[in-house]
Amino acid sequence: MNRILIVLLGFFTFVIPEVATGQARSDLLSKLTEPHEYTLKRVSSYDRTGGNDDYRPLAAGETLTLLDESGPGEISHVWITIASNERFHLKKIVLRVYWDGESTPSVEAPVGDFFGLGLGEYSLYQSVPLSVGGDKALNCFFPMPFQKHARITLTNEGQSRAEAVYWNIDVRTYKSVLPAGTLYFHAQYRQATPNQAIPGNKTNLEGKDNFVWMEATGRGHFAGVTMSVVENQDGWWGEGDDMFFVDGERLPSINGTGSEDYFLGAWDFGGKPFAYGLFGAPIVGAELQGGRWSVYRFHLDSPIPFTKSLRATIEHGHANDRGDNFYSVAYWYQSEPHAAFPTLPEAEIRVPRVVPIPSAQR
């Protein structure tokens, strides 16, 4: 019999059976016999005239508001698809989410990176909280509760008009306020293009110069990360250990054994892509300069809690001896207010490209 895992994320409960293959899925059928105390709303781009023009254009430099809703409520699903002829529009269109009238977003990432497409090109994969369906269908099932207000925007930082943006967002509305202590969803984009290689390093106990997925202050828990890699030199990029520093630790209380190990693969991913419910490597490239990779890991089975702060990091190569490009989005839940996010790099800097490593630095 499969063992059942109960995972609390904010106001929503995931019930995840562990299956023998290592995949996990939401056991949503078990909830169908229970009454629900919410009213479901659909906020979408449908044609208000009754016609079939169910989209909105998004000109270069403009911001489009997808959702502007009063609470209390919870976003249970986001679906977006974009028609644009601009290459790398997934890196140049930015998704932002604001809770309860805050002035700075709790979610900020290129739209492709947010949905796990950190290389700026479409590919299909399926996980529990995020998936990309055929064709170019971006889906998010992370529960996103809010007490007073929720706003979701897309900003086109590219050079060309996106001819059509379609969206469907499912929102549960409640008559009473959410329980005290309900945590808010956050997602933060980071990149290093390239990471600064430190040749000759043998040890790295304190995580100095690690690539940082996220830093947070407050109370909450880490839910996972998606990451993409462009190799700037030949060889295997994944000898880096994951390190999590909880509540101001000098030494990490969670320390891994290698990059592919953290993403729950092994042996350089065996040269084969895979995508399971909680972990995967949908894109597995060559161990050569220009090789491209995309990976993900979600901690829905055991989110990593923190009461004061969290610094989630990973080495780039053993003891940070490699200088590849990393692009990531970290996902977590926490109380507000949140710490300031780093400044989002300009659109052209976000576009994946090889940065050759000088031989003297290898």
So where are the chain's domains? 4-30+37-173, 184-361
For residue 8, the model assigns a pLDDT of 43
State what percent of residues in the chain have pLDDT above 70: 91
Q: Which of 1, 186, 227, 192 minimizes the C-alpha distance to 96?
A: 186
CATH tag, 184-361: 2.60.120.1390
For residue 31, the model assigns a pLDDT of 83
List CB contacts of 65: < 8 A, sequence separation 6 or more: 151, 152, 153
4-30+37-173 domain in CATH 3.30.750.24? no
Q: Which of 202, 205, 165 minimizes the C-alpha distance to 44?
A: 165
Q: Which of 256, 239, 247 minimizes the C-alpha distance to 319?
A: 239
For residue 93, the model assigns a pLDDT of 98
Please give the mean pLDDT across all residues of the chain.
Answer: 92
Q: Which of 12-26, 61-75, 338-352 has the lowest mean pLDDT?
A: 12-26
Q: Is 356 left (phi over 0), alpha (psi -120 to 50) or beta?
A: beta
Q: Is 313 exposed, middle or buried (0-12, 13-18, 19+ CB in 10 A)?
A: buried
Taking residues 77-95, what's their average pLDDT?
98
Q: How do residues 119-157 score in pLDDT, each as one tens digit?
A: 999 999 999 999 999 999 999 999 999 999 999 999 999
Q: Are 207 and 198 in contact (CB under 8 A)?
A: no
What is the end-to-end Cα distance of the chain in Å, rounded? 50
Q: Are 191 and 346 in contact (CB under 8 A)?
A: no
DSSP label of 327: E
Q: How do residues 18-62 score in pLDDT, each as one tens digit?
A: 433 333 344 678 888 999 999 999 999 999 999 999 999 999 999
- Return the higher-pLDDT residue of 21 and 230: 230
DSSP label of 319: G
Answer whether the bond into residue 53 is a cis peptide, omega within 30°: no
* C-alpha–C-alpha distance, residues 309 and 71, integer Å: 28
pLDDT at 6 > cutoff 70: no
pLDDT at 160 > cutoff 80: yes
For residue 2, the model assigns a pLDDT of 40
Taking residues 291-312, what's their average pLDDT?
98
Confidence of residue 362 (pLDDT cuts 50, 70, 90): low
Cα–Cα distances (Å) from 45 to 66, 82, 219, in that order, read 8, 12, 35
pLDDT at 14 > cutoff 70: no
Q: How do residues 192-209 score in pLDDT, each as one tens digit?
A: 999 999 988 899 999 999
* C-alpha–C-alpha distance, residues 94 and 107, integer Å: 10
**Helix, strand or coil for residue 304?**
strand
Cα–Cα distances (Å) from 322 to 62, 230, 251, in that order, read 38, 12, 22
Q: Do domains 4-30+37-173 and 184-361 have the same CATH topology?
A: yes
Confidence of residue 5 (pLDDT cuts 50, 70, 90): very low
pLDDT at 12 > cutoff 80: no
Q: Is 351 exposed, middle or buried (0-12, 13-18, 19+ CB in 10 A)?
A: middle
For residue 361, the model assigns a pLDDT of 60
Give the bridge partners for 24, in sequence order: 18
Q: How do residues 251-272 score in pLDDT, each as one tens digit?
A: 999 999 999 999 999 999 999 9
* C-alpha–C-alpha distance, residues 94 and 89, integer Å: 9
